[in-house]
Chains A and B, each alone.
Chain A
């Protein structure tokens, strides 16, 4: 039997700028909600109602769940969706007269937007309730990750910071889902020796690992990553199968790159007359994605053909068959090599499906449906695998990640190394504050808790990653400087034994995250 752990990771950095009527980076959340999180939930609920026996694991990062449960952001999402529906209605009309090849997709997008908004409202605007229900029905294993998705290996010399990231992540999960998380998604697959103990001591049972961590371990693996890894603390590690994930994930030859798939970039926000799209782009006249895209990837050419939905769905079905075949063939090869019942850990960013890869939701649906029909494939979760009493490889795994080169180069290179002297200093000072001001309540306690939030937010892996990728660099840098500068407000004020109340009130209003923040997590004496 080939056991498949499909593990999706949903994460977005904390972006909330209510001080602006519209803020473009908030679209990261809105687009992901409309194109990934809600469609995924609809698909999973549909399969569950049909009685399909599937299992998947989904990590919702603490920053994402905070935004998904934030009233003002939920309100803004409704506004965003109303705009999207309004544009869809205009598109349905326009494509009756021009670009008639696009009419079907215009109607499709419009219908999707209406259905998604309806579901959003039906969930009381909190889609996590829907996922929690699926968890209660043992279809979905939900898990958490580090508080702000910090890339943990870089901070290993600051054990209080590691503890704060882990504990705050677990607490946020408990507060939102009302249960404890047994799994912990390592941000960027970032592991270092000793991290397993921190997780295990906090009640975590498993984490995922980078695929190369097995062959490069300090011990000899006999299962090659096709059975869970027992890390020194007892924590179970599930190595990501690079070979199988790359069939999807490869930006060169993965299924999403098929020329018949919908093109992500060609969006009417960029090519229709400004007067027409102006209400749906960014003020004053910054063209952005609107979500209405009518072309197929075609190839590396400007002359893209129109998207053919039916043809793309046929291709998607073929991709699913190919994927299942690849898993089975691999399972057979492993069996002849003496490894029975292998476990394949397929770890993906959730936003790939639907948002980036329009056909991705359908791919997952067919994958689960067709897989359920196969006698030699069983969908499972890491926790179920542990409860099944699997064989293990006991390994001492080196520091590793899924970043370029398999270590820390993505988050520590010439573009972003400057940030660490500031973040590390803030972490040192945070520890110092816990010593100088132990057990503070009331205003000073709030002040110190806000300092903890700021330093945690500064640690997010998103900022150095953006700098490395050179995408939204100026925004990332600004955010980082704001968080660290804000931390310094607390530090300098507390050194004078004062509280800057104007700053505190504004900061608490602006970063409504981690309401149960406890600054004493940074106390080295409480490790």
Chain B
């Protein structure tokens, strides 16, 4: 998508968009006021201006109008439910250090938990490099999603939806496992001192002409380790 660079728009373009957005007094606002008003409307931020190098290129300032109002549904289509009233929990890898977890309780189980005053929590199991770690994340009955911190390493993570009262622990659902991110170079720091040339080859693919590194946490950590080893040498 092409993100609109509001600052590059002319005064007439800004007025046109502001009018479409129903911003009051748009004909008499000056350029800066229009930009501020539109930014506020779209909760714009610096990210849009800096531009994501991977942004895809479609067309249009299409969200400066209410197109959603006139995309009609087909006969018989009803709104999506808020949830599906089944007890389940899912875990999805979001990045190398975070996983996204979402869950629902069936109405029956939710009522029972509420009626009996059971506490709800997520039980996270992480098997990394042959060692099992477990931790618990308290949740409210009305919660339905959470982001969980995960480590690097050879292993997996899974999360269980648990309720408890007076030592009576009940597992309601268990997610499928997700594989953790593991990297050769995060494990072989000892080889870094003798891998100068390889390091330069790696970096030659991952840096811009300004010297900026591709945005990736594992790469940043590997580069940091190489630098530390270089300093140590």
Contacts and interface: CB of A to CB of B under 8 A. Distances in A.
Contact of A503 (B58, B76, B176, B201): B76
Interface string B3-25: 11101111111001100100000
Interface stretch (A80-88, A98-106, A239-247, A516-524): A239-247
Contacts of A264: 2
Interface stretch (B110-118, B127-135, B207-215): B207-215
A422 B204 contact: no
Interface stretch (A168-176, A215-223, A363-371): A215-223
B53 A253 contact: no
B28 interface: no
Nearest to A479: B71
A459 B112 CA distance: 35
B78 A271 contact: no
Contact of A270 (B12, B77, B176, B201): B12
Nearest to A417: B100
Question: Which residue of A302, A339, A352 has the most chain B CB atoms within 10 A of its CB atom?
Answer: A302
Interface string A491-514: 000000000101100110010000
Contacts of B48: 469-470
Given A469-B55, A470-B63, A250 B208 contact: yes
B194 interface: no
Contacts of B76: 489, 500, 502-503
Interface string B180-204: 0111110010010000011011101
A250 B211 CA distance: 13
B60 interface: yes
A13 to B, nearest CB: 8
Contacts of B59: 27-28, 31-32, 289, 355
A317 interface: no
Contact of A217 (B66, B184, B214): B184
B93 A406 contact: no
A399 B71 CA distance: 36
Contact of B92 (A222, A333, A408, A465): A408
Interface in B49-96: 50-63, 65-80, 83-84, 90, 92-96
Contacts of A500: 75-76
B179 interface: yes
A471 B31 contact: no
A211 B206 contact: yes
B188 A469 contact: no
Contact of B8 (A265, A286, A399, A421): A265
B205 interface: yes
B219 interface: yes
Interface in A216-242: 216-226, 239, 241-242
Contacts of A330: 204
B16 A287 contact: yes
Max chain A Cβ within 10 angstroms of own Cβ: one of B2, B20, B69, B71: B71
B157 to A, nearest CB: 13
Contact of A471 (B3, B12, B69, B202): B3
Given A224-B202, A250-B208, A475-B71, A286 B20 contact: yes
B77 A489 contact: yes
Interface in A470-500: 470-475, 477-479, 481-482, 484-486, 488-489, 500
Nearest to B97: A407
A25 B67 contact: yes
B224 to A, nearest CB: 13
Given A24-B62, A216-B216, A404-B54, A488 B208 contact: no
Contacts of B51: 251-252
Contact of A243 (B8, B183, B188, B205): B205
B217 interface: yes
A126 interface: no
A503 B74 contact: yes
Contact of A286 (B65, B198, B218): B65
A12 interface: yes
Contacts of A310: none
Contacts of B219: 212, 215-216, 406
B183 A471 contact: no
A472 B77 contact: no
A216 B75 contact: no
A420 to B, nearest CB: 7
20 contacts: A11-B56, A28-B58, A212-B216, A218-B184, A224-B202, A242-B214, A252-B51, A253-B209, A266-B10, A286-B20, A289-B59, A302-B31, A356-B2, A356-B57, A398-B182, A408-B94, A469-B3, A473-B63, A474-B66, A507-B74
Interface of A: 11-12, 17, 19-20, 24-25, 27-28, 31-32, 153-154, 157, 188, 193, 211-212, 214-226, 239, 241-243, 246-247, 249-253, 263-266, 270-271, 286-289, 300, 302, 304, 326, 330, 333-334, 337-339, 349, 351-352, 355-356, 398-399, 402-410, 412, 417, 420-422, 424-425, 465-466, 469-475, 477-479, 481-482, 484-486, 488-489, 500, 502-503, 506-507, 510
The 7 A-B pairs at the shortest CB distance, nearest first, are namely A474-B68, A251-B51, A224-B201, A406-B216, A407-B95, A485-B77, A471-B1
Interface of B: 1-5, 7-13, 16-17, 20, 31, 42-43, 48, 50-63, 65-80, 83-84, 90, 92-96, 100, 102, 104, 144-145, 154, 176, 179, 181-185, 188, 191, 197-198, 200-202, 204-210, 214-219, 222
Given A19-B72, A334-B204, A482-B74, 10 more contacts: A211-B206, A215-B185, A218-B154, A242-B214, A253-B210, A407-B96, A469-B3, A470-B63, A472-B67, A489-B76
